[in-house]
Amino acid sequence: MATEILMPALSPTMTEGKLSRWVKKEGDTVSGGDILAEIETDKATMEVEAIEDGVLGRILVPEGTENVAVNTPIAILVAEGEAVPDQAGKAPPATTAPATPAAVQPAPVTNAAAPQAQETFVSHEDKDWGPTQEITVREALRDAMAAELRRDADVFLLGEEVAEYQGAYKISQGLLQEFGEKRVIDMPITEHGFTGMAVGAALTGLKPIVEFMTMNFAMQAIDHIINSAAKTLYMSGGQMGCPIVFRGPNGAASRVGAQHSQCYGSWYAHVPGLKVVAPWSAADAKGLLRAAIRDPNPVVVLENEILYGHKFPCPVDEDFILPIGKAKIERPGKDVTIVAFSIAVGIALEAAQTLAEEGIEAEVINLRSLRPLDTATIVESVRKTGRLVTVEEGWPFAGIGSEVAMQVIEHAFDWLDAPPARVAGEDVPMPFAANLEKLALPQPEHVIKAVRGLI
Amino acid sequence: MGTTDKQVGKAGRNKPSLTRDQFMQAYHDMLLIRRFEEKAGQLYGMSLIGGFCHLYIGQEAVVTGVQMCLRDGDKIITSYRDHGQMLAAGMEPRGVMAELTGRATGYSHGKGGSMHMFSREKNFYGGHGIVGAQVSLGIGLAFANKYRGTDEVSVAYFGDGAANQGQVYESFNLAALHKLPCVFVLENNLYGMGTSVERASAWHEFYKNGEPWGIPGRQVDGMDVAAVHEAAAEAVAHCRAGKGPYLLEMMTYRYRGHSMSDPAKYRKREEVENVRKHHDPIEHVKHILLDAGVEETALKAMDTEIKAIVNDAADFAQTSPEPDPSELFTDVVLEA
């Protein structure tokens, strides 16, 4: 039977909009999910999808029409071979039945003021890599570098204490012995200079791994990471890529004070031309670092010192690698989405465990990559749970949580049952005293409290 | 430092010379840069070039003399005063000028501009807008030469304005420590933007700045292409032989402002006129050629030919299309 397609609302407050374009024309056969038309308001452009199969029998509102009220019939969908009823679309919407509101999906837009969403918001299952073995994050990082050093003669490691000392945090243990001093190179304490040197070498096509003893010291070299590494491909019109990895422990360690305890997630994730990953588990560390070394772009790998000694199951498959830009759902749930990265994933999982005992099923997303951000997985999850809590160790202002929340507002606003909530480090330089340091960092209780506040 | 008369044109230690053909080539290459930069200045004045535009006029002998000592595979990197280096490296005047006007046919497809141009083919690694950054990057180019086991060298140009940047010294240390084949060419044009060397640096013998790390250095008359060539040949041979880096301080002078928007309040017109009249690197070679029996008409013909090349580049740069709007989003990252 004939079905009326109604003008959809893009947000709870939308009352009318413009029917900007018909993608299908009268007589076209359509299947559920096909895009029929584009509509726009002053805030957004969206696509109208067919929700069932049929033939577009008649277009009731021509393209270009402004101020089309929500729920006005805009077209008639008929079954194959069926005629369009004469009266269709002429009666007011209130009397037409059954009316089917069209499904909407965000459409790509180029206006910066409008939402941007090319994603179809379908996340993909992780590949199953088979048997695993318990290893530490430290071992995972070393194994990743060793595997890539074996695989590609253009890869080399440089940094302070990476060779003879075997790594300030023992990440590069054994690499000097296997690969020699040509490829595992101790650097003097001169971050600005050796980072520039490594970037220069990468511009010629070599693939350096730059280890910073901690990411705090990379601030000395951030000009080369951003101005020299991230921007040169663009500035050269695509001629000169920079295949380089900047890695090291990021965020708070333990009792090392303000200058050695800072998360640089949002700093680097802000920059077009960079990729940024933040592993939590040993599998994350191994899979993401291997991908970072093979990537033709500059990649910042934000590790965590406290996690170095933690053991996790990691696939033993020699080819194991993870895609950059893909988050992982660490724990499925239906009531709230908790988004975290790096050490905060553990905090989120601990909170989720406690919440489960109260009957609240939290879905925990481990971002793995901060840039590109896996918006699809986040949005798909929030469209299911209707609630969002972000967790990070870094400062809240302009943090990763802010960006995640904004992506959700742009792409899943109508699905939200409560305002997104952030759990982050306190907005202070890291104190030294044990009690104050603990107070400055996010704890599972903060996450639990935030979730309870939404439900 | 008093007047620049004492500094500019300071003689090198040897009596350098080039063959007549080499002088002819140098004259051609310097004149191409001069005419190109004059045209760029004109286009800037007509608002056809926007943003920053740092002209190389007056310093032509430096890149020309150094380039004569290089061979295929040697790598070059410099600051934002880069048009001369690009032309010396053999990059096309059309592509360089079209980048200055921000057109799709420019070396960076209009996305780099005056300060950010590159040519993988000509081993020109930019074109960098952060003062001193190219020195650290430059030792990275040298590192790559060494890592790959070639005897290619890298040349990192920087100005007196960059000479006291911290990363320059970090780079001296790293280059010496790892014996990197890098020729550091310090172009001392006596002013870092509007601040004279004497007002910016407590120490003026920049060619000795590598001494703590054992880097040999020489001060060179950067207005004399033969002197530049002689010193660069020694420096390049040193690097190619695997003996580590070398520092050349080229005493030179820019006739135009730091950039096109320079009010030029920090030096007297007479100072500029004096250098132009008595130390111009192109006039200097012209006299040598005339003394050697080259007909003035031959030099005039060369000038006419170069002007035609530059005019063609300017026409090309004005008639080429702007980049397609879709180019806004390309070249941000490479496909993994």
Overall average pLDDT of the A145-149 stretch: 98
pLDDT at B7 exceeding the cut of 90: no
Position with higher pLDDT, A10 vs B233: B233
Write the DSSP string, B224-240.
-HHHHHHHHHHHHHHHH
How near does any CA of chain B get to the CA of A247, in Å?
18
**Structure tokens given for A389:** 């809590």
Give the integer Cα–Cα distance in Å for A108 and A123. 18
pLDDT at B213 exceeding the cut of 60: yes
pLDDT at A93 exceeding the cut of 70: no
Stated pTM of the model: 0.83
Position B17 confidence tier, pLDDT thresholds 50, 70, 90 = confident
Q: How many CB pairs under 8 A join A and B?
A: 149
pLDDT at A90 exceeding the cut of 70: no
Instruction: List domains and CATH numbers for chain B.
Output: 20-314 (3.40.50.970)
Give the integer Cα–Cα distance in Å for A375 and A363. 15
pLDDT at B32 exceeding the cut of 60: yes
Read off the pLDDT of residues A363-384 as tens digits, 9 standing for 90 and up.
999 999 999 999 999 999 999 9
Position with higher pLDDT, B1 vs B77: B77
Overall average pLDDT of the A338-366 stretch: 98
Overall average pLDDT of the A416-428 stretch: 98
Closest partner residue to A273 among B129, B141, B332, by Cβ? Answer: B332
Query: Between β-strands A35-40 and A99-101, what pairing exists: parallel, antiparallel or unpaired?
Result: unpaired
- pLDDT value, residue A221: 98
Residue A89 near residue A58, CB atoms below 8 Å: yes
Residues on chain A touching B147 (C-beta within 8 angstroms):
156, 182, 201, 206
pLDDT, mean over chain B:
94
Write the DSSP string, B241-297.
TT---EEEEEE---SS-SSTT----SS-HHHHHHHHHHH-HHHHHHHHHHHTT--HH
Phi, psi angles (nearest 5°) of residue B176 = -70, -40
pLDDT at A9 exceeding the cut of 70: no
| Alpha-carbon distances, residue A447 vs A330, A355, A389 (angstroms) | 16, 10, 8
Read off the pLDDT of residues A392-403 as tens digits, 9 standing for 90 and up.
999 999 999 999
Give the integer Cα–Cα distance in Å for B12 and A125. 70
Overall average pLDDT of the B310-322 stretch: 98
Nearest to A319 by CA among A279, A286, A365: A286
pLDDT at B2 exceeding the cut of 70: no
Residue A243 near residue A202, CB atoms below 8 Å: yes
- pLDDT value, residue A239: 96
**CB atoms B133 and A228 under 8 Å:** yes
Write out the H or E segment, with its range, that includes residue A348: helix A344-357
Position with higher pLDDT, A119 vs A330: A330
**Cα A301 to chain center, whole Å?**
14
Read off the pLDDT of residues A200-225 as tens digits, 9 standing for 90 and up.
999 999 999 999 999 999 999 999 99
Give the integer Cα–Cα distance in Å for B234 and B246. 9
pLDDT at A40 exceeding the cut of 50: yes
- pLDDT value, residue A98: 39
How near does any CA of chain B get to the CA of A281, in Å?
23
Position A443 confidence tier, pLDDT thresholds 50, 70, 90 = very high
| Alpha-carbon distances, residue B27 vs A197, A289, B60, B244, B273 (angstroms) | 35, 53, 10, 31, 21
Alpha helices in A168-322 (DSSP H): 175-179, 191-203, 222-223, 232-235, 265-269, 282-294
Give the integer Cα–Cα distance in Å for A180 and B180. 18
A228 touches chain B (CB under 8 A): yes
**Cα dihedral: A33, A34, A38, A40 (round 10):** 0
pLDDT > 90: percent of chain A: 73
Residues on chain A touching B119 (C-beta within 8 angstroms):
239
Closest partner residue to B120 among A224, A239, A295, by Cβ? Answer: A239
Position with higher pLDDT, A35 vs B291: B291
Residues on chain B touching A108 (C-beta within 8 angstroms):
none
Residue B162 near residue B84, CB atoms below 8 Å: no
- pLDDT value, residue A101: 41
Read off the pLDDT of residues B44-58 as tens digits, 9 standing for 90 and up.
988 899 999 999 999
B147 touches chain A (CB under 8 A): yes
For B211, the 3-state DSSP assignment is helix
Give the integer Cα–Cα distance in Å for A386 and A375. 15
Alpha helices in B179-224 (DSSP H): 197-200
Residue given tokens 């939290």 in the structure block: A362
Phi, psi angles (nearest 5°) of residue A51 = -100, -10
Position B265 confidence tier, pLDDT thresholds 50, 70, 90 = confident
Overall average pLDDT of the B170-199 stretch: 96
- pLDDT value, residue A11: 53
Position A13 confidence tier, pLDDT thresholds 50, 70, 90 = low
A194 touches chain B (CB under 8 A): yes
**Cα dihedral: A251, A255, A260, A263 (round 10):** 20
Phi, psi angles (nearest 5°) of residue B283 = -60, -40
pLDDT, mean over chain A:
90
Give the integer Cα–Cα distance in Å for A450 and A444. 10
- pLDDT value, residue B134: 98
Residue A202 near residue A208, CB atoms below 8 Å: yes
- pLDDT value, residue A6: 81
Instruction: List domains and CATH numbers for chain A.
Output: 2-78 (2.40.50.100), 132-315 (3.40.50.970), 328-453 (3.40.50.920)
Closest partner residue to B174 among A197, A223, A239, by Cβ? Answer: A197
- pLDDT value, residue A86: 65
| Complex ipTM > 0.85 | yes
Give the integer Cα–Cα distance in Å for B20 and A293. 52
Alpha helices in B109-179 (DSSP H): 133-147, 166-177
Residues on chain A touching B330 (C-beta within 8 angstroms):
238
**CB atoms B112 and A206 under 8 Å:** no
* A26 Cβ neighbours under 8 A, 6+ residues apart: A56, A57, A58, A59
Residues on chain B touching A234 (C-beta within 8 angstroms):
111, 331-332
**Structure tokens given for A270:** 């802000």
Overall average pLDDT of the A418-429 stretch: 98
Overall average pLDDT of the A419-436 stretch: 97
Position B11 confidence tier, pLDDT thresholds 50, 70, 90 = very low
Position A80 confidence tier, pLDDT thresholds 50, 70, 90 = confident
HEC string of A52-116?
CCEEEEEECCCCCEEEEECCCEEEEEECCCCCCCCCCCCCCHHHCCCEEECEEEECCCCCCCCCC
Give the integer Cα–Cα distance in Å for A446 and A367. 19
Closest partner residue to A193 among B129, B136, B335, by Cβ? Answer: B136
Number of C-alpha atoms within 13 angstroms, CB side, residue A449? 8
Amino acid at B109: H
Number of C-alpha atoms within 13 angstroms, CB side, residue B173? 13
Position A83 confidence tier, pLDDT thresholds 50, 70, 90 = confident
- pLDDT value, residue A112: 42
Residues on chain A touching B137 (C-beta within 8 angstroms):
196-197, 199-200, 203, 224, 228
B289 touches chain A (CB under 8 A): no
B54 touches chain A (CB under 8 A): no
- pLDDT value, residue A70: 78
- pLDDT value, residue A45: 66
* A262 Cβ neighbours under 8 A, 6+ residues apart: A215, A216, A250, A251, A252, A394, A430
Residue A268 near residue A300, CB atoms below 8 Å: yes
Read off the pLDDT of residues A156-214 as tens digits, 9 standing for 90 and up.
999 999 999 999 999 999 999 999 999 999 999 999 999 999 999 999 999 999 999 99
How near does any CA of chain B get to the CA of A407, in Å?
20
Interface of A with B in 317-346 (CB under 8 A): 324
Position A88 confidence tier, pLDDT thresholds 50, 70, 90 = low
